[in-house]
Amino acid sequence: MSILVFAEHDNSELKADTLKTVAAAQAIGGDIHLLVAGHNCQAVAEAASKVNGVSKVLVADNAAYEHQLAENVSLLVTELAADYNHIMATALTTGKNFMPRVAALLDVTQISDIIAVESSDTFVRPIYAGNAIATVQSLDSKKVITVRSTGFDAVATDGNAEIIAVDKVTDAGISSYVSEQLSVSERPELGAASVIISGGRGMQNGENFKLLDGIADKLGAAIGASRAAVDAGFVPNDMQVGQTGKIVAPDLYIAVGISGAIQHLAGMKDSKVIVAINKDAEAPIFQVADYGLVADLFNALPELESKL
Amino acid sequence: MKVLVPIKRVIDYNVKVRVKADNSNVDLANVKMAINPFCEIAVEEAVRLKEAGIATEVIAVSIGNKSCQEQLRTALALGADRAIQIETDESLDSINIAKLLQKIVEEEQPQLVILGKQSIDSDNNQTGQMLAALTGMAQGTFASAVSIDGDKVNVTREVDSGLQTLALTLPAIVTTDLRLNEPRYASLPNIMKAKRKPLVVKAAADFGIDLTPRTNLIKVTPPAERKAGIIVESIDELVEKLKNEAKVIS
Ligand SMILES: Cc1cc2nc3c(=O)[nH]c(=O)nc-3n(C[C@H](O)[C@H](O)[C@@H](O)COP(=O)(O)OP(=O)(O)OC[C@H]3O[C@@H](n4cnc5c(N)ncnc54)[C@H](O)[C@@H]3O)c2cc1C
Ligand SMILES: Cc1cc2nc3c(=O)[nH]c(=O)nc-3n(C[C@H](O)[C@H](O)[C@H](O)COP(=O)(O)OP(=O)(O)OC[C@H]3O[C@@H](n4cnc5c(N)ncnc54)[C@H](O)[C@@H]3O)c2cc1C
């Protein structure tokens, strides 16, 4: 059996989530190859060759893949798919974007967002905002799978895979990149952070999110938010944690001024330790919190920062 | 141009679902159902394009049993012009949903198809992308802004690192994210008017597509419950617990 795993990267850095997706591939078992599709992405290929459990790294380095447009990448992956039983990607926005296209081109359905592997054709995935866990068997000959990183532990990176150039160029010619607005931050990414502090509507405005900065600095934490805080324009969309935002499971998650709607819980309730700071003792967030503090956040945050 | 909006009937987002005692599935008996919130955003976007004089007709389509006519009527009340129900009693896999939608695209020849990015029940986030592949169209997923520009559509997408804008050749597929718009409420007169708008029913079996299941649902179980925690009285106590009991800070 052989498995193709799509490497998540930004042309310069291999994302740590890929190490977890490779772990999912190992749980299925078989010869694992990584695909690096991008432009000027040799550094990523080098990093990919170190990922344990991977025997080959296929590198498709071409301008057509620079922005990983779904139309182009899905054609490439579909052509390569002939040699594989399983095609896997991390369930982040890139994988979520192009993988279902691959599935449709191969005439199979996709098994999305798996958190565990039961066997080579049977997988476990959360549904209904994580309020139910489904075990689903794929009846298709090829399996197209996206993997939720929080379900798997990263493999090590002391491997030595062979790097092979792929010179196929698949440019569908129907979409093009115009621009991007990236959030720049010195902090760890939400998906990679071991501590996250998130603010909700209770923060009242974007300026007040600065109250989280000092604490995040002291804890080496990433900063997240609820949908309400994003919708209100306090912070950008890429900070949204939840069912329809980012799914995280850090060692410590601190929810500040967040009520604990099921859609928010879906994105963080697998965190190891949850702390909630909310002035409403009845807020549902306290039902999932290991440590709850009923307090006004405008008093609690400065005090917490000073005592860390 | 015509805009096609596929919509799904799902559990209301306020309801916390329960798993059936026999672990065969979730229990949807007597549960409040609604139009998938992302589909509602899709309808709103299509109706705004019509109000802006860009779209000429908005067609809503749903695949499901007779009860999804309720959500089609909601779409009509929000401003869609007509509706199509593809009748089936089966819970079809996304690829088969996409194949049925492909047939409607072939019949109706829309310039734009707007879907939700994800349905809040099965949380798959895949049908729009599959439809795009089957029809050979470009896709703008997780859209927070859509603007038609001649024979192209510019789509701003919510991605992990921020926002990305793409230009797609029409006809194209868009899937909606939360920030695309804020859907209106249907007014009573519009709800009344919706009852008289055309709604055509077609049988899924009549499309000549092999709808054999591609997945087998083995079981559905409740998630692991978190143990109830404690309320701390002060920041000092909180910091002490995090250091010495949970050992997550030093
Ligand atoms: C427990 C369980 C597990 C399942 N697991 C899988 C699985 O692993 N793989 C799989 O392929 N299928 C699976 N299914 C079936 C599938 O989820 C849905 O039944 C089917 O409706 C496809 O839509 P979706 O929810 O996947 O759509 P998504 O891709 O999440 O929805 C995106 C958009 O597609 C459109 N759309 C979706 N369904 C319809 C519809 N019926 N009519 C009109 N428009 C629609 C809407 O615009 C919606 O916003 C599962 C079903 C159940 C009950
Ligand atoms: C389709 C759909 C998808 C969604 N996806 C997501 C998602 O991915 N992520 C997500 O987060 N939500 C999501 N939501 C929204 C979700 O339902 C809730 O509306 C949202 O999570 C609420 O955010 P909040 O807790 O910040 O705001 P609120 O519910 O308004 O809670 C604010 C809290 O702050 C507390 N507070 C106020 N002032 C203070 C103070 N001074 N000190 C201390 N506490 C204070 C209040 O007591 C309250 O509990 C989704 C909803 C839908 C319909």
pLDDT greater than 90 at residue B228: no
Residue A291: which of B98, B38, B233, B74 has the closest Cα?
Answer: B233
Partner residue facing B162 (CB), from A138, A181, A275 = A181
Beta carbons of A96 and A82 less than 8 angstroms apart: no
Is the preceding peptide bond at B171 cis, omega within 30 degrees of 0? yes
pLDDT tens-place string over residues B174-201: 999 999 999 999 999 999 999 999 999 9
Prediction ipTM score: 0.95
pLDDT tens-place string over residues A136-189: 999 999 999 999 999 999 999 999 999 999 998 999 999 999 999 998 889 999
The set of long-range contacts for A204-207, using a CB threshold of 8 Å and a minimum separation of 24, is: A205/A234, A206/A233, A206/A234, A206/A235
Mean per-residue pLDDT of chain A: 97
Per-residue confidence at A240, pLDDT binned at 50, 70, 90? Answer: very high
- Greatest alpha-carbon span in chain B: 68
Contact B117 A244 (CB under 8 A): yes
3-state secondary structure of A63: helix
Residue A75: which of A180, A179, A174, A178 has the closest Cα?
Answer: A174
- The residue written with tokens 């695949």 in the block is B63
The whole-number average pLDDT for the span B219-248 is 95
Phi first, then psi: give them for residue A256, nearest 5 degrees. Answer: -120, 120
The finding on whether A200 has its CB within 6 A of some atom of ligand 2 is yes
A49 token code pair: 């060759």
Per-residue confidence at A302, pLDDT binned at 50, 70, 90? Answer: very high
Residue A113: which of A129, B116, A104 has the closest Cα?
Answer: A129
Beta carbons of A11 and A185 less than 8 angstroms apart: no
Burial class (CB in 10 A: 0-12, 13-18, 19+), A17: buried
Please report the beta strands in chain B, taking only residues with DSSP state E, as ranges in sequence order: 2-6, 9-11, 18-19, 26-27, 33-35, 57-64, 82-87, 112-116, 138-149, 152-159, 162-169, 172-176, 199-203, 215-221, 230-232
The whole-number average pLDDT for the span A260-281 is 97
Contact B134 A104 (CB under 8 A): yes
Antiparallel, parallel or unpaired: β A175-182 and B162-169: antiparallel
CA distance A200 to chain B (A): 16
**B196: Cβ–Cβ under 8 A, 6 or more apart, which residues?**
none
Contact A105 B19 (CB under 8 A): no
Positive or negative, the Cα torsion across A171, A172, A174, A176?
negative
B10 token code pair: 């799902």
pLDDT tens-place string over residues A93-135: 999 999 999 999 999 999 999 999 999 999 999 999 999 999 9
CA distance B250 to B242: 8
B102 token code pair: 């492909």
pLDDT tens-place string over residues B24-65: 999 999 999 999 999 999 999 999 999 999 999 999 999 999
Q: Which atom of ligand 2 is nearest to the CA of A225?
A: 11
CA distance B63 to A188: 42
Residue A247: which of B160, B228, B229 has the closest Cα?
Answer: B160
Contacts with B246 from chain A: Cβ below 8 Å: 252, 273, 290-291
Contacts with B33 from chain A: Cβ below 8 Å: none
Antiparallel, parallel or unpaired: β A54-61 and A162-165: parallel
Partner residue facing A140 (CB), from B214, B218, B232 = B214
DSSP state of A263: H
AA identity, residue A102: V
pLDDT tens-place string over residues A177-207: 999 999 888 999 999 999 999 999 999 999 9
pLDDT greater than 90 at residue B225: no
pLDDT score at A184: 86
State percent of chain B over pLDDT 90: 97
DSSP state of A190: T
- The residue written with tokens 């009344």 in the block is B192
pLDDT tens-place string over residues A48-91: 999 999 999 999 999 999 999 999 999 999 999 999 999 999 99
Contacts with B180 from chain A: Cβ below 8 Å: none
Secondary structure (DSSP) of B107-162: HH--SEEEEES--TTT----HHHHHHHHHT-EEEEEEEEEEEETTEEEEEEEETTE
A47 token code pair: 């990093």
What is the number of alpha carbons within 13 Å of residue A209 lying toward its C-beta? 22
pLDDT tens-place string over residues B90-130: 999 999 999 999 999 999 999 999 999 999 999 999 999 99
pLDDT greater than 90 at residue A42: yes
